[in-house]
Structure formats: C-alpha cells, structure tokens
C-alpha cells in the first residue's frame, strides 16, 4: 500500500473525535491507489456514502500530506470488511452542518434490551405476526414489502418491531437499520425544512436498508409529512429495501390517511395482532414470573394467582406485567407469600380499571368473524341481507355493551346517522322474540365479548 493508512486513521481520530472515528473511519479498509483514486472497502454502501459526503476532503488532505497525488476517494462494499458499528444512531458530534443534519435525521429509537424474540410469548392471537416478523428479521430476500403490524395498545407491536431491529443488527451488521416513530420522522422532516437541508434528509433516509416506523397513524392529517413519507416509501420499495410499520389499526381504517399511502401500506403483508386470550396471558405471566425471580429472589405465590390475573387483566399485556412486578416487589419487601388477599389489596386500582370494557371496534370484528364477513363490508354501503343483518346485530350489541351514544356508534359504522343505528337496534329487538337462531347468535357473541 502506497500510503500509511494507520497513521492517517490516527490523525483522523484526533480531528473528528473518538465516537465519529469508531463509527465511520475504523470500519474502512484501504485497498489501493490507482490513477489518483484511493480505493477503500466499506462494510455497507451507507457507510461509504456517509464518509464520502462528510469526510472526503479531510481524508484527501491527509493523504496528500503523505506525498501522494490523489484526486478522489472511491468505496467498494464487502461484508468481509472490518466490523462496522451496529448502532442505528450516528455519532454525537459532527464536523460540519451536513453531518449534523445526518445525525439528527438518523437519531433512531434506543432499543430496549428486553424486547427480543426470546422474550416474546407466542400464542394463537399473535402467531402469524411473530412468524412474519421472524421472516423479516433474517435479512434475506424481501418477500413481502411492507410488513404492516397493527393492533390495540399492549398487544406486542412494539415488542416485535424492536425484536426485528435487534435480530438484524446482530445477524446482519452489514445492513443499515433505522427504527423510529412516525412522530420522530415528522419532527426530523420539519427540522430539515426549517434548516433548508431537505435534500440531505431525502438522501440519508433513502439510503437505509431497512426502515422501521412505529405508530404510523401519527402522520395522518399531516399533508407535507405524508407527501415526503410517500416518496420515501416508494424510493425504498423501488430499491427492494425492507419497510416495516406498525399502527393501532389497519391502514384502511386510519382516518385522514391519504388513499395512495393506505394503498401502498396494504400492498405487502398486513397482520392483525388480536387481543390476547386466556392461555396466552397465562403463558406471559409464567414467563415473566421466572424473569422477575432473578431480580427479586424466590417469591412464593399461592395457587390460583396466575389464573386470577390472566382472567381479570385481559386488555393490556403491559398492565398485566406491571401488576405482576408490583406483587413481586411488594412480597419481597415485606417477606410474605403472594396470596389472594394481597392481590386484592395491592392491585385494587388495576383491578378496578381493568374491569371488562367492550369497544365498538371489538364488537365489529367479532360479528364480522362470526358471520364470515369482511370488516370493510360491514362498515361500507352495501345493503344486501347477508351484510345488513350482521351489521344491525353489531349496532345492537354496541348499544347494549358499550356506553357510546347513538351518534358515536354511527360514526364508527362508516359515518352513519344516529337514526340508522336506532332503526337497526329496534329491528334486532323485534326479531329476537321470533327468531331463535338470531337470538342464539346474539347470546353467543355476547358471551364471547364479555369473557
């Protein structure tokens, strides 16, 4: 090699700082000088592009001080290069405004070490989402793009998203993975507009290999952010780069989300994380109890405690885990066995707030499943008997099992007028006395919803 790269690298360490050097300079391997071009091997195209954009002139100046007549740097990508930094977050300091823009844009979410595939409890409600996340986490050929995970609060969307990010950074360090919230995407976009660095924003965001965006419902109604997200989405898909997204509802059900974005989101695999069932909650409690025992020591738990908690706290896994941790902490502090009396006393606030509350959306899903209908048909304008009757049953159950007013229920049924809801409710009330099959269907659905 015609130049002393080791010495130049050390000089760069002093100029750009330890953190910058470790993330961007150290992974480079100097290969050769030929016709005034210095060729480097980089662990990924992203690292090469970043160094070329932000450190090109500094490196060139130091090489010329060695007496070499060079005019530019060139980068080739190889997975056998020195091990690159695994963080999706660029260094804390930057030598130029362009780098500042880059690090702000790519400042992703700090991953939680507990949210891995090993700590994810799989059951029937989430087995498809888990399998799809596992497939994406291999980093192999893109089979469905995007992967869209949706479901209610505390059902495991974020856990699966972070598990994918962890797996990719561990198994595929050559890939540039960016995981952030939709809110942060919007913030960085607005910041780029304000600082007139929108081209840096575009170039950097579209150079990642895997883009993961949590809570995409947040961009609904933000026209400029949706526009930029749409173009970023298309650019990455065209390059066959993987996109993973999550939201609290299906793409077609996100209010004020542009139709073209909703359509793009549905062109891959859309997976619903269903509400947990009793068996899954019981498995989560058993897994978490083993984990908490490592922190709090051995805690004696009376028979039936797990079963009670799995039955009573059914709407949110985070609340369920928090309740168990509170019991472990309380028991270890006072040195007593976890009994039913302790549960009732220690978790009184959680048990009160976790009393079964059925939602209109849950009723709609259950009725659609029971009658083998698409949810979109139930909420849509079709008035055929096979759709209208289940729709009226769902309206009736929404009135009976929730505290929502008729206008509120109407809005959740595709923006229908409250008089339509009232008509549907009265129609079902009339038919219940004469149609035994209808009555059986309603009672079965009621038991399923209240269990």
Which domain-ending residue is among 304, 321, 353? 353
pLDDT of residue 66: 80
265 and 129 fall within a common domain: yes
**Cβ contact 366:449 at 8 Å:** yes
33 and 70 Cβ atoms separated by less than 8 Å: yes
User: Is residue 253 located within the same domain as residue 294?
Assistant: no
Place of tokens 């209908």: 373
CATH number at residue 224: 3.40.50.300
- Top-confidence residue, 344 or 94: 344
Question: Does residue 228 lie in a domain region?
Answer: yes
Six token digits for residue 428: 């079902």
Are residues 198 and 129 located together in one domain of the fold? yes
Same domain, 136 and 233: yes
Q: Which of 321, 353, 385 is the last residue of a domain?
A: 353
Residues 121 and 199 in one domain: yes
Contact by Cβ (8 Å): 155, 275: yes
Q: CB-based burial of residue 298 (10 Å sphere; 0-12 exposed, 13-18 middle, 19+ buried)?
A: exposed
Pair 368, 440 in one domain: yes
Residue 71 belongs to domain with CATH number: 3.30.300.180
pTM: 0.58
Q: Give domain status of residue 329, yes or no.
A: yes
Residue 112 belongs to a domain: no
Tell me the pLDDT tens digit for each residue of 186-204. Answer: 888 888 888 787 887 887 7
Same domain, 316 and 381: no
Using one digit for the tens of pLDDT, what is the confidence trace for 38-93?
A: 888 887 776 787 788 788 888 888 888 887 788 888 888 764 433 333 333 333 33
Q: Are residues 41 and 152 in the same domain?
A: no
If asked whether residues 342 and 408 sit together in one domain, one would say no
- State the residue range of the domain holding 34: 5-85
- Alpha-carbon distance of 400 to 360, in angstroms, equals 10
* Exposure letters 165-179 (e unless 16+ CB within 10 A, then b): bbbbbeebbbbbbbb
pLDDT confidence of residue 5: 85
In a domain, 291, yes or no: yes
Paired tokens of 72? 């530019």
pLDDT over 60 (residue 275): yes
For the chain, how many structural domains are there in total?
Answer: 4
Least confident range from 3-12, 347-356, 417-426: namely: 347-356
In the sheet that holds 29-34, the strands lie side by side as: 29-34, 37-42, 72-77
Give a yes or no: residue 186 inside a domain. yes
Given a cut of 60, whether residue 238 has pLDDT beyond it is yes
Q: Is residue 406 in a domain?
A: yes
With CA atoms as reference, report the closest residue to 413 among 253, 256, 263: 253
Q: Which carries the bigger pLDDT value, residue 124 or residue 108?
A: 124
Q: How high is the mean pLDDT of the chain?
A: 83
Please indicate, yes or no, if residue 109 is contained in any of the structural domains.
no
Q: Are residues 123 and 268 in the same domain?
A: yes
CATH of the domain at 335: 1.10.8.60
Q: For residues 139 and 242, state if they share a domain.
A: yes
294 and 409 share a domain? no
CATH of the domain at 404: 1.10.1750.10
**Residue pair 177/47 in contact by the 8 Å Cβ criterion:** no
Of these ranges, 105-109, 389-393, 432-436, the one predicted with the greatest mean pLDDT is 389-393
Instruction: From 272, 305, 332, give the residue that closes a domain.
Output: 272
* 76 occurs within a structural domain: yes
């Amino acid at each position: 090699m015609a130049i002393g790269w080791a010495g130049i690298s050390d000089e760069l360490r002093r100029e750009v700082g330890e953190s910058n050097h470790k993330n961007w300079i150290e992974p480079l391997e100097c290969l050769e000088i030929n016709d005034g071009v210095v060729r480097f091997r980089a662990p990924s195209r992203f690292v090469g592009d970043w160094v070329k954009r932000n450190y090109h002139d500094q490196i060139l100046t130091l090489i010329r001080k060695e007496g070499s007549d060079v005019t530019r740097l060139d980068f080739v990508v190889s997975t056998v290069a020195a091990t690159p930094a695994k963080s999706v977050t660029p260094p804390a300091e930057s030598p130029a405004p362009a780098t500042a823009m880059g690090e702000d844009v790519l400042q992703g979410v700090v991953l939680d070490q507990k949210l891995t595939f090993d700590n994810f409890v799989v059951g029937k409600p989430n087995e498809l989402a888990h399998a799809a996340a596992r497939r994406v986490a291999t980093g192999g050929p893109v089979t469905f793009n995007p992967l869209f995970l949706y479901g209610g609060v505390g059902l495991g969307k974020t856990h699966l998203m972070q598990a994918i990010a962890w797996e990719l950074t561990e198994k595929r360090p050559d890939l540039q993975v960016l995981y952030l919230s939709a809110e942060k995407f919007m913030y960085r976009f607005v910041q780029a507009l304000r600082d007139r660095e929108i081209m840096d924003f575009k170039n950097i965001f579209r150079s990642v290999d895997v883009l993961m965006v949590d809570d995409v419902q947040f961009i609904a109604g933000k026209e400029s952010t949706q526009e930029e997200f749409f173009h970023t989405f298309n650019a990455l898909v065209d390059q066959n780069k993987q996109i993973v997204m999550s939201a609290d509802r299906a793409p077609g059900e996100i209010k004020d989300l542009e139709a073209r974005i909703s359509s793009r989101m549905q062109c891959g695999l859309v997976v619903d994380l269903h509400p947990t069932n009793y068996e899954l909650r019981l498995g989560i409690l058993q897994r978490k109890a083993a984990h908490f025992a490592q922190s709090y020591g051995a805690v004696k738990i009376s028979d039936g405690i797990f079963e009670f908690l799995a039955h009573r706290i059914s709407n949110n896994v985070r609340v369920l885990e928090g309740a168990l941790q509170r019991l472990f902490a309380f028991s270890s502090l006072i040195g007593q066995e976890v009994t039913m009396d302790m549960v009732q006393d220690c978790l009184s606030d959680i048990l009160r707030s976790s009393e079964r509350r059925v939602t209109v959306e849950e009723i709609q899903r259950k009725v659609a499943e029971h009658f083998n209908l698409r949810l979109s048909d139930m909420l849509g304008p079709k008035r055929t008997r096979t759709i209208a009757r289940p729709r009226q049953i769902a309206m009736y159950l929404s009135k009976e099992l929730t505290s929502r007013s008729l206008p509120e229920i109407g809005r959740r049924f595709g923006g229908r007028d409250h008089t339509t809801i009232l008509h549907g409710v009265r129609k079902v009330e009339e038919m219940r006395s004469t149609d035994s099959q209808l009555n059986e269907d309603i009672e079965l659905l009621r038991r399923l919803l209240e269990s």
